[in-house]
Structure 1
Amino acid sequence: MAILYNEKTKVFTLQTKNSAYQMKVAEHGVLLHTYYGQKIGDGDLSYLIMRADRGFSGNPYEAEKDRTFSLDCLPLEYPCFGIGDYRTDCIQVIHEDGSNSIDFRYKSHELHKGKYSLKGLPSMYWEEGEGETLIIRLEDKTTGVEIKLYYGVLYEKDIITRAAEVINSGRKNIILNRALSLCLDFTNDRLDMVHFYGKHAMEREFERTPLHHGRQSIGSVRGTSSHQHNPFVILCKKETTEDYGDCYGISFLYSGSFLAEAEVDQIDQTRFVMGIQPDTFTWKLGEGERLLLPEAALIYSHEGFTGLTHRYHDAIREHVVRGEWKHKKRPVLINNWEATYFDFDGDKLLAIATDAKELGIEMLVLDDGWFGKRDNDLSGLGDWYVNEKKLKGSLKELSQKVHDMGLKFGLWFEPEMVSEDSSLYRAHPDWAIKIPGRNPNRSRSQLVLDFSRDEVYQAVKDMVFQILDEVELEYIKWDMNRSITNLYSAALPAERQGELSHRYVLNLYRFLEELTARYPHILLEGCSGGGGRFDAGMLYYAPQIWCSDDTDAIERLKIQYGTSFGYPIGTVGSHVSASPNHQTGRRTPWETRGTVAMAGSFGYELDLNKLTAEEKELIRGQVKEYNSYYGLIHEGDYYRLTSPYEDTRVTAWQFVSKDKKEGLFCAVATGLQANPSPLTVKLKGLIPEAIYEVEGKEYAGEMLMLGGILLPASSEEYQACRYPIRLKKETLQ
């Protein structure tokens, strides 16, 4: 049993292969959180909670004279606002009489085989009969409002999932103005928080910060998970490194505005909460109505960040990504965006396709500009009909010509957006998100469609599906090129305007669910100006996401380094682009651009017609090499060997197959030196006593891991190397 309940002590223990998570129903029905960490038995760990009479920390009425029982100091499983716990909380409610307290106490629980499901929301899944589910029901006895806390446990994969559902079982309306998905309380650990911040074209930069007294938060109010902060956070002990120490990962399966907040309290306890961003959220619940809250996936590692990364990579590959492309080889593609931008026609596209076929590239992707009146980014969004004049024929004919060459064909869409200069906006100006009487905030000269409205969602879906029904496609790039502001829906009454952001996300998921069900053969790649919506929620629908609009190989070292902590390499859209780079102007060698782009779902973002014969031959070799490593890169274990934030001379990483029979070492020199010192990098993940071949020489695995590889001195800036690692046959048993 992965979930244990001790009737006598009223202790719940959730066990995985390497971790345990424990709760206890204490006096007065208060649900305490007593432990999360390395695997233990099911003994009652509540003895570690220190109770004391602390000034200005009050006591529940039913505690009577026991001044040591205070919700302000106890570690709680789902803390509420307004009942004497002054720390950051999970839920805040406004009642019809204007009061704002809610006091959830234990009511009942259920145990089930298998995994719970969340209708309309992405969530981890596993095979029928696998894993276990615990549902704990808490109740506010005064109002009858209830909350169901969902826990899913997959023992072998060390996964514990959390979700919640608020149910208004009372007779009066309530307003939720804060409803988060989870809380983690730590009673005696001073922790660091690792988060991944950034901006457009520089996403998911690594930052590790010691938690201090008071509240520290990251999050988004942009309507998406955002370029600025990612909904994946790591809490870790101060001594934790890549390979050693305790760390806790929290991955939020949600693609909208979110909050992740930590607080160190007056007695040095740490609380962490995560959920829908309350700054842009309210939700009205009438009698009998309920609200599902998004899921978070928790993983604990005692083997440092590397152990956490491997568990998350496996979990997302196997239990988030779905559909035909879950393990199917994805095609090497050429996208025309940086090759042509809006300046293309059918002939230019076919010329690129002709060269692509000769070089071994497998798919042509037509990006922005093929529809409506769309020769720049000032018009046309929302008019999803083909500009046949520009293409010199129909899209169906273009697709057929590309397929006749032996290539696959893909297409770019931005369904959530509208240009003011468009037929759709002129017909339905109220379909855009904007506040009556105010001029809207523009971004990239476009507005956001109100996807919370069913008629908007349906109209756009009909236009997109009509194209997909007529044109043979194997790939869609789904883009979103601005943040949401001026929050107002013409279809919602005043008291429900705070529901817009979440309703928007729910209908986005509904659209994606219908699209992937109707066209299961199409590979869907997510995008929001690159990595502005790179989260586990989107990966439930799109098995890969364009990692960043920044294709500069050297800047990608940091972007892909940060992304790797919580997301598998195969989910990362990564392309070789032109040099000098279009975003930074930096010049980098072909081999370096190829090496960096191979740490992801590989492709090209340049004009093949402008390349020399030598450059085309390099592409031919890169495509062939990437295809030979595909299984290793997409299904193997990934190791960060050096940090681009700490090592000024080299950034290195490594792939190792699950059976440890092969690997791939990659490194990029990031700093030149005159009269350079020797530079070695230690490998990871090999069999110590086995013999491996690297660059024609044989080494014991322990030599490579403890001694390392001596890198050649760089002869040019940003030089890269790729070394295959192969187990010698004679060492196999």
Structure 2
Amino acid sequence: MDAQIKVSKVSGNQIFHLSNSKVSYILGVEDHNVLAHYYFGKKVNDYSGSLKYPRLDRSFSPNFSDATDRNYSLNTLPQEFPSFGAGDFREPAISVQQTNGSMITDFEYQSYQITDGKDALPELPSTHADQSEAMTLTITMVDKIAQITVNLAYTIFSDSASVVRSSQIINSGTTDIDIKKIDSMNIDFPKNDYQLLQLPGRYAEERQVVVEDINPGTKVLDSKRSSSGHMQSPFFGLVSPNVTEDSGTAYGFNLIYSGSHKSTIQKDPFEQVRVQMGINDFNFSWKLRPQESFQSPEVMMSFSDRGLNQLSHAFHHLILNHVMTSQFAKKPRPILINNWEATYMDFDEAKLEKIVKKSAQLDIELFVLDDGWFGHRNDDNSSLGDWYVNKEKLPHGLTSISDLTHQLGMKFGLWFEPEMVSKDSDLYRAHPDWAIHTPNRPLSVSRDQYVLDFGRQEVREHIFKQMCEILDSTTIDYVKWDMNRNITELYNLDLPADQQGEASHRYILGVYDFMAKITARYPNILFEGCSGGGGRFDAGMLYYMPQYWVSDNTDAVERVKIQYGTSMIYPPVAMGAHVSKIPNPNTGRSIDINFRSLVANSADTGYELDPLTLSDDEVKTVIQENQWYKANRELIQFGDFYRLINPFKNNQGSWMFVSPDKSKAVVMFFNILNQPAYPLTVLKLQGLDPKAKYEVNGSLAVSGDELMNIGFYPMPQPKHDFESMKFELKKI
């Protein structure tokens, strides 16, 4: 096994060195049993103590109670898991209120344990690895006065430039304590010139790439929505100035959690940078009774010394091999068609049958029936929570359309929104208290629906029973799980007043419990996540559902940016991308089907249009594109993905897919707006065998090193806006 954890003594200090062939992570025990951070980055063979923090007198930096000089302070020392109140005035990773009201904690190193492999976390999605794939270091720290224990877990994998961290707090005392904050990780970096990379967004514009300077003070990236959300992905990076896709240093931090999250980036007066990530402590608290424990989510931390593509490869590999648990994780994903943009909720059996039959002729593999098949739902004002078939629309139930789909050689999928309830529904009329609300306050409406309290077991059991009745009633191969609003008036009726700070996290734990049970009961159903598009696209969701709808924005030009940003963390096989109708419902733009197809074919492809309206030429194109995609599906979904041209900075975007053995590649180039006297772009490829010759689009033979270092002109003269090119490479 390539992963290893060395424990040694250096200058009298205990040192822990986690490493594989790609990265090293080094921490150690300093004076007064403080757990100090030394290094995270490119693999080093040994550590001799070169980064032991200098002993310096820093004014207004308190010293330990038994200090004989002024040269050692928690306020400046780089630490692994700092607390507050004993001398460090920077952001703490943990805050606990004790019975006497004190918020002061001071944790000291106590012991360590090393185990092979990586166990799953209780109640939470997490990474997994067997004993030959990873090693885990657990550091135990204690506050003897408060009688609190913290276990810090560090996992190093044999096959990834990544370390995974989490924290667990145990009440070792005899009285209750209240957790006010517990981060999953903390790293203190020495003075550096790194910039902050983040992926903010909004509905229909998710995961936009933003790079900015890190200035003195504290920067917070967070969500308070009880969802990871469209507006701020639970990810950030530290990158060297002028980092590119293939050069420069890059660190990435990605939280495996789907609820309210918070990342803190703090530059202190000495230009050291402290970074933290975990559950958002805003309105959070957790009562911990004696001998009880609380487990934080995990953070995936990856490193690259060769730019952003290498960083993305680390995340892609880790998510595909050590996060996803579905049997479909490494299986080819089908080409689907969703009826939403073809019919919205205005459909009946006859209309659906025509779409299904036409789809089969187009070489499509999966038909998905979207919103509107249940209750008396004809618009988005009713029936969520009433998961029984609308017999006015579908008098023969779902079986008729499912049987037809299978008879034509396709699979059948269905849309659900399990976490929601409409005011106009049988469920709400029977159980209005099941909608999350604060007593004696009016309940905000969003999209004319409320959020069911999945933190309560009786609510989950009722929805689970309804879904099972539907899924058992006919052959269903795919489920799209949607979630179209965030929580307001947050309150849990099962909790006492002094535990309402637990409501948000308990909601997410309930969602995870439901997803674990439904995916375990139906292992042969492919589940795809959605939240108004990519509003809850995170690693926590991918643990249960191996693909996610990237965005409700199906405009192909917009999707170039959205998919580019999403690929910073998530592999193409995790992304749902469809060819939509024109004019596009989001932008009104009309883009030719070649451009739309190439963007969609960059991920798990499909269609979001009415196939009955396609022209003869468009039908031919769709069939050709589907046949091409099937022939190249393995390469697109599981090859190495490289971003080539950043559409956030250029009028073009480009990326490519390379087979693991470097024998095949596909390059996609997108020109957005045409221009007179068009400036010529040189496209340089990545990931090829530099010594091999490649046939390009069946003719020209070019060496790999020429394609990567010299490049070529992909589109010498565009003819119109929104033009695309595809280049297929085969080693000869």
TM-score bucket (shorter structure): over 0.9
The offset of 1:449, in angstroms, is: 0.4
RMSD of equivalent CA atoms: 1.2
State the partner residue of 1:635. 638
**Residues 520-574 of structure 1: per-residue CA shift (max 9 Å, x gap):** 1100100000000111111111110000000000001110110011110110100
Aligned position for 2:142: 139
> Which residue in 1 is equivalent to 2:677?
675
Q: CA deviation at 1:670?
A: 1.2
CA contact (8 A) 2:116 2:130 kept: no
Question: 1:102 aligns to what?
Answer: 105
Aligned equivalents of 2:372, 2:647: Cα separation in 1: 36
Written as runs of structure 1 = structure 2, the 5 A alignment for 1:258-269 is 258-269=261-272
Query: Quick one: which of 498, 503, 517 aligns to 1:500?
Result: 503
* Counterpart for residue 3 of structure 1: 5
1:682-697 equivalences under 5 Å are 682-695=684-697, 696-697=699-700
Structure 1 residues 289 and 710, CA gap change in structure 2 (3 angstroms): same
Question: Where do residues 201-220 of structure 1 align in structure 2 (5 Å cutoff)?
Answer: 201-220=204-223
Distance 1:488 1:474 in 2: 36
From the superposition, tell whether residues 472 and 128 of structure 1 become closer, same or farther in structure 2 (CA, over 3 Å): farther
Deviations 1:185-230 (A, max 9, x none): 1012232110101000000000001111000111100111000011
| Residue from 42, 45, 65 that aligns with 2:46 | 42
The aligned residue for residue 89 of structure 1 is 92
Deviation at residue 441 of structure 1 after TM alignment:
1.1
* 1:699 pairs with 2:702: yes
Within-5 A mapping of 1:176-575: 176-575=179-578
Q: Distance in 2 between matches of 1:556 and 1:100?
A: 47
The worse-fitting range, judged by mean Cα deviation, of 475-484 and 181-190 is: 181-190
2:17 & 2:308 partners in 1: Cα distance? 25
- SS of the equivalent of 1:456 reads helix
Looking at structure 1, the residues matched to 258 and 345 of structure 2 have their Cα atoms a distance apart, in angstroms, of 29
> Counterparts of 1:76 and 1:225 in 2: how far apart (Å)?
27
Q: Is the 8 A contact 1:3 1:13 kept in 2?
A: yes
Paired residue type of 1:654:
M
Alignment length (residue pairs): 726
Partner of 1:58 in structure 2? 62
Aligned partner of 1:172 in structure 2 is 175
Quote the offset at 1:117 in angstroms: 2.4
SS at match of 1:705: helix
Partner residue in 2 for 1:656? 658
1:12 aligns with 2:16: yes
Task: Give me the whole-angstrom Cα distance separating, in 2, the residues matched to 1:175 and 1:45.
Answer: 38
Instruction: Say whether the 8 Å CA contact 1:35–1:45 is kept in structure 2.
Output: no
1:12-49, Cα deviation, whole Å (9 max, x unpaired): 11112111111111111110111111111332436452
Alignment correspondent of 1:731: none
Contact 2:178 2:287 (C-alpha < 8 Å) held by counterparts: yes
Any idea what SS the aligned residue of 2:342 has?
helix
Deviations 1:691-728 (CA, angstroms, capped at 9, x unpaired): 11112211111221122121231111101111111111
Contact 1:388 1:395 in 2 (8 A): no
Q: Secondary structure at the match of 2:232?
A: coil
Separation in 1, partners of 2:387, 2:727: 46
Question: TM-score, normalised to structure 2's length?
Answer: 0.98
TM-aligned CA deviation for residue 377 of structure 1: 0.6
Partner of 1:280, secondary structure, is coil
Instruction: Give the superposition deviation at 1:157.
Output: 1.6
Q: Which amino acid aligns with 1:58?
A: P
Secondary structure, aligned partner of 2:282: helix
Q: Is the 8 A contact 2:560 2:653 kept in 1?
A: yes
Quote the residue 1:114 is aligned against.
117
**Per-residue deviation, 1:65:** 2.1
Partner of 1:613: 616
2:608 maps to 1:602: no
Question: Contact 1:151–1:160 at 8 Å: present in 2 too?
Answer: yes
1:409 Cα offset (Å)? 0.2
1:116 offset after TM fit, Å?
3.0
Q: For residues 498 and 477 of structure 1, what CA distance do their matches in structure 2 show?
A: 31
| Cα deviation, residue 9, structure 1 | 3.0
SS of 1:21's equivalent?
strand
Contact 1:116–1:152 (Cα < 8 Å) also in 2: no
State how far apart, in whole Å, the 2-side matches of 1:297 and 1:189 are. 22
Question: Are residue 625 (structure 1) and residue 628 (structure 2) matched?
Answer: yes
- In structure 1, what is the Cα distance between the partners aligned to 2:687 and 2:223? 36
Q: Which amino acid in the other structure matches residue 253 of structure 2? A: I
Matching residue of 2:31: 27
Q: Distance in 1 between matches of 2:132 and 2:653?
A: 43
SS in structure 1 of the partner of residue 548 of structure 2: strand
Q: Deviations over 1:113-152 (max 9, x none)?
A: 1113201111111234321111111001102111100111
Task: Write out per-residue CA displacement over residues 499-527 of structure 1, whole angstroms, 9 at most, x where no aligned residue.
Answer: 01111111111111111111111001000
% identical aligned pairs:
42
